[in-house]
Amino acid sequence: MHFKLRDPAKTEILGAAPEGARDPQAAARAVQEMFTSIAPRYDLLNHVLSFNVDRLWWRRAARSFAHILARPDAQVLDLCCGTGDMTFALRRQAADPAGILGADFSHAMLQRASAKSEGTSLRWVEADALRLPFANGQFDLVTAAFGFRNLADYNAGLREMLRVLHSGGECGILDFGEPRGLMGKLYRMYFKRVLPTVGTFISGVRGPYAYLPASVERFPAPGEMVERMRRSGFREASWTPYTLGIAGLYRGKK
C-alpha cells in the first residue's frame, strides 16, 4: 500500500501526551496511572465499547504471523500487553506457547493477565516498552496491540522493538485509525461522545476514556507511521486496515 510522505515542514509528534503532561516522563506516568485505574473493568469495557469486534482484530493480527508462530522454537514478545488478550491470540496460533512472553508497565494489568493465564505456559514481565530488559536480537516476533499509541516516544519505541528482534524478525503493531467518509463521521461521533460517557459510567473513572479519542487523533496517520518504521530501520513496512480503517495492522521486518 502506498502513502503520501509526511510534510517535512510539519512538526513531528513525539508521542502520547495526556492532559497536563509537560514532558515524556510525565506522560508515561500519567498513562501508567490511567491504566492502573481502569484495570478491574478493562476487559469488559474493551468488548462492550468495540461491540466485540476487538476479538476479531486480535485473532486476525495473530494469524498474520502464523508462519512465525508455527515454529516450535519461536520466541515472541507481546508489548504493552495489558490484560493479555493479544498474547492469548498469539498463543492460539503457536506451535509452542512456552516461547510467548507478555510485557507491560502496569502492575495491575499484569495481575489480571496472570490470573487469566493460570494453567498455561504464558509468562509475564513488568517492563517499560522504551527500556526493555532483553538482549539484542532475542525475539522472532514483537507485537503491540492498542498500546503502542500510548508510548511517550513513538520513534524510541520502534527502535527498541527493532533492537530486541533478530535479523529477519518481524514486528506487528495493531492500533486504532481514523476512517474517512461517512463511516469516519459516525466513528468520530461515537468515539468522542458516546465512548467516553459509557466508559466513564462503567469504569467510574473519567480520565482514561476522555484521553482515548484524543490519543487516537494525535497518533500518526498510516502514511507517517509507515515512514517512521522505515526510518527506524524496518524494511517492508506496511499497513493493513481492519474494519474500514477503524483499526489496522502495521508490519515490518528487521
Q: How many CA atoms lie within 13 A of 226 on its CB side?
A: 18
Residue at 62: amino acid letter: A
pLDDT of residue 47: 67
Rounded to an integer, what distance in angstroms lies between the CA atom of residue 217 and that of residue 212?
9
With a pLDDT cut of 70, the percent of the chain lying above it is 92
Cell numbers linked to 200: 466513564
In the chain the domains, ranked by start, together with CATH numbers, are 24-39+50-178+220-253 (3.40.50.150)
- Give the model confidence (pLDDT) of 85-101 as tens digits: 999 999 999 999 999 99
pLDDT at 84 over 60: yes
- H, E, C per residue of 30-93: HHHHHHHHHHHHHHHHHHHHCCCHHHHHHHHHHHCCHHHHCCCCCCEEEECCCCCHHHHHHHHH
- DSSP per residue over 127-188, as a string? -BTTB--S-TT-EEEEEEES-GGG-S-HHHHHHHHHHHEEEEEEEEEEEE----HHHHHHHH
- Rounded to two decimals, the pTM is 0.89
pLDDT of residue 2: 35
pLDDT of residue 125: 98
The enclosing H or E element of 208 equals helix 207-218
Q: Determine the 3-state secondary structure of 220 from DSSP.
A: coil
Q: What is the mean pLDDT of residues 16-28?
A: 83
Strands 76-79 and 100-104: parallel
Q: Which backbone phi and psi does 108 adopt, to 5 degrees?
A: -65, -40
